[in-house]
Amino acid sequence: STKSYSETFRPQFHYSPEANWLNDPNGLVWYEGEYHLFYQHHPHSTVWGPMHWGHAVSKDLVYWEELPIALWPDHNGAIFSGSAVVDWHDTTGFFNGGSGLVAVFTHHDTQTPSGVPRQSQSLAYSSDKGRTWTMYEGNPVLEDERHVDYRDPKVFWDSERERWAMVLAAGQRILFYHSPDLIHWSFGSEFGASEGSHDGVWECPDLFRLPVDGGSGESKWVLIVSIGPSDELAEGSRTQYFVGEYDGVSFVSDNPPDTVLWLDHGRDNYAGVTWSDVPAQDGRRLFIGWMNNWKYANLLPTEAWRGAMTLPRELGLAVCEDGVRLRQMPVKELEALREKEFRINHAVINAGDGNLLQDIHGSALEIEAEIKLTGASAFGFRIHGSAGQGTVIGYDASRSYVFIDRRNAGISDFHPDFSCEHGADLKPSGDILKLRIFADHSSVEVFAGDGRVALTDQVFPGPEHQNLELYVQEGSIEIISLHVYGLKSIWDS
Ligand code: FRU
pLDDT per residue over 272-324, tens digit each? 999 999 999 999 999 999 999 999 999 999 999 999 999 999 999 999 999 99
Q: Map the chain to HEC letters.
A: CCCCCCCCCCCCCCCCCCCEEEEEEEEEEEECCEEEEEEEEECCCCCCCCCEEEEEEECCCCCCEEEEEEECCECCEEEEEEEEEECCCCCCCCCCCCCCEEEEEEEEECCCCCCCCEEEEEEEEECCCCCCCEECCCCCCECCCCCCCEEEEEEEEECCCCEEEEEEEECCEEEEEEECCCCCCEEEEEECCCCCCCCCCEEEEEEEEEEECCCCCCEEEEEEEEECCCCCCCCCCEEEEEEEEECCCCEEECCCCCCCEECCCCCCCEEEEECECCCCCCCCCEEEEECCCCCCHHHCCCCCEECCECCCEEEEEEEECCEEEEEEEECHHHHHHEEEEEEEEEEEEECCCCCCCCCCECCCEEEEEEEEECCCCEEEEEEEEECCEEEEEEEECCCCEEEEECCCCCCCCCCCCCCCEEEEECCCECCEEEEEEEEECCEEEEEECCCCEEEEEECCCCCCCCEEEEEEECCEEEEEEEEEEEECCCCCC
* pLDDT of the residue at 493: 63
* pLDDT of the residue at 1: 44
Mean pLDDT of 162-178: 98
Percentage of the chain beyond pLDDT 70 is 99
Pocket lining: 393 vs ligand 1, CB cutoff 6 Å: no
Task: Please provide the average confidence, as pLDDT, over all residues in the chain.
Answer: 97
Mean pLDDT of 11-29: 98
Is there a catalytic annotation at residue 24? yes
Q: How far is the CA of 24 from the centre of ligand 1 (A)?
A: 7
Atom 8 of ligand 1, residue of closest alpha carbon = 203
**Catalytic pick among 24, 87, 268, 405:** 24
Pocket lining: 197 vs ligand 1, CB cutoff 6 Å: no
Q: How far is the CA of 63 from the centre of ligand 1 (A)?
A: 26
Mean pLDDT of 186-212: 98
- In this predicted structure, the answer to whether residue 325 has a pLDDT above a threshold of 60 is yes
Mean pLDDT of 462-471: 94
- In this predicted structure, the answer to whether residue 256 has a pLDDT above a threshold of 70 is yes
- In this predicted structure, the answer to whether residue 184 has a pLDDT above a threshold of 60 is yes
Least-confidence region, from 2-11, 42-51, 470-479: 2-11
Q: How confident is the model at residue 388 (pLDDT cuts 50, 70, 90)?
A: confident
pLDDT (tens digit, 9 = 90+) per residue, 110-161?
Answer: 999 999 999 999 999 999 999 999 999 999 999 999 999 999 999 999 999 9
Q: How confident is the model at residue 364 (pLDDT cuts 50, 70, 90)?
A: very high
Pocket lining: 40 vs ligand 1, CB cutoff 6 Å: yes
Q: Indicate the pTM of the whole model.
A: 0.98
Would the ipTM clear 0.90, i.e. be above it? Answer: yes
Mean pLDDT of 458-476: 96
Pocket perturbation via mutation, ligand 1, pick of 23, 107, 201, 270 by most ligand atoms within 8 A of CB: 23
Mean pLDDT of 206-220: 96
Atom of ligand 1 nearest to the CA of 237: 7
Pocket lining: 26 vs ligand 1, CB cutoff 6 Å: no
